[in-house]
Copies of this chain bind each other. A is one copy, B any other.
Amino acid sequence: MPNKIPVGILGATGIVGQRFIQLLEHHRWFEVAWMAASDRSEGKPYAEAARWRLKTSIPKNVAKMVVAPAKPDGAPKIIFAALDSGIAAELEPRFAEAGHAVITNSSALRMVKDVPLVIPEVNPDHVKLIECQSYRRKNGGFVVTNPNCSAIGLVLALKPLHEKFELETVMAVTMQAVSGAGYPGVASLDILGNVIPYISKEEEKMEEETQKLLGKLNGAGIIPAPFKMSAQCNRVAVEDGHTESISIKLKKKASAEEILEAWSSFRAIPQEKKLPTAPEIPVRYVNASDRPQPRFDVDFGHGMTTTVGRLRPCNVLDWKFTVLSHNTIRGAAGAALLNAELLKEEGYLD
């Protein structure tokens, strides 16, 4: 333990904050050394401040850790953030300003021009935008973001296809798990036996983040990928795991075999460098008529693998398929953690 790198967590008591703590419990490189949450939690031991909602227990050392004020003083250099968007917009720049590496799951700064929005398997080169941030130039601090939970699984499935065949059009309809709304989040009266065909700002995020993630780094900004993209987002009575029905059109026509081959052969920096949180297989195709399903597939690759299934021709575009991704692991805390590992590998955390 003495050799591990201390990290802090902003927003440690929420669902994503809890996932950070869970995923960091036995992490090879990092250890939780500091945490902050809302004023209500400040000064309390974590076990008392948080309403722990995960199936594993609170790590013992974390349980006793006292929740600090949400201020940069005394916080470790590396900060994972899982804040509500409004607060994030205020606190994240403040920590970066103070020289911290802020690796955040919040949506607040994702679309800011010089803020990298990164999936290590997809666009690791975008981290170079860090150098354009004023914080960085001043005192080394910076902000790096990961995408929305509905975008990340999809983009992992699209990346190998975009690389080889170039996307022309993407249509996505999601069926998203309740944990995506945090805790208490979705009221049981709203979702038991029901579908809610709306999640605030989700469709916009999904559309623009997908294009930024698959876009090209161009000096101090990103040129979004030029394909057309349309998303419809629904909430369903599932605990963890966003399921998505996707249709795509490709510029260069591809056979089913070529698409399956693109997915199965897809490996990237996290796999090559064997980053601690990287799944062995980033995109898995499951060859069964009725999969992927949250019940069976959400935890594959410790929740870091995107599972794809049901590839078949589309009468309107070229291909249809179903994507499943764990929304609070690959779609939130695990995404930020892998970003941190990439940043460390690339020397940004030294």
Where the two chains meet, the residues of A that have a C-beta atom closer than 8 Å to any C-beta of B are 15, 53, 55, 169-171, 173, 175, 178-179, 183-198, 207, 228-230, 232, 234, 236-239, 243, 245, 247, 289-296, 299, 309-310, 314-317, 320, 322
A96–chain B nearest beta-carbon distance, Å: 31
A15 to B187, CA, bound (A): 13
Residue pairs across A and B with Cβ atoms less than 8 A apart, 5 shown, are A15-B189, A186-B189, A189-B239, A197-B292, A230-B317
Supply 6 further A-B pairs (C-beta < 8 A) apart from A194-B294, A230-B314: A178-B192, A184-B187, A193-B237, A193-B238, A194-B293, A236-B237
Q: Which residues of B contact A234 (CB under 8 A)?
A: 175, 243, 245
Q: How far is the CB of A206 from chain B (nearest CB, A)?
A: 11
Bound together, the chains give a CA A190 to CA B173 distance in angstroms of 22
Which of A179, A197, A238, A317 has most chain B Cβ within 10 Å? A197
| Interface pair B293/A196, CB less than 8 Å apart | yes
Q: Is the CB of A315 within 8 A of B243?
A: no
A198-B310, A228-B315, A247-B230 are known contacts. Are A193 and B295 too (CB-CB below 8 A)? yes
A317 to B197, CA, bound (A): 19
How close is A119's CB to chain B, nearest CB, in angstroms?
22
Option from B175, B185, B292, B320 in Cβ contact (under 8 Å) with A236? B175
Query: If the complex has contacts A171-B247, A187-B187, A198-B290, are A192 and B316 also in contact, measured as CB distance less than 8 A?
Result: no
User: Is A320's CB under 8 angstroms from B189's CB?
Assistant: no
Q: When the two chains form their complex, are residues B229 and A315 in contact, meaning their CB atoms are under 8 A apart? A: yes
Residues of B within 8 A of A309 (CB): 197
Q: A179 near B173 (CB under 8 angstroms)? A: no
Chain B residues near A229: list those with CB within 8 A.
Answer: 315-316
Least CB distance from A220 to B in Å reads 26
Which B residues touch A178, using CB under 8 A? Answer: 188-189, 192
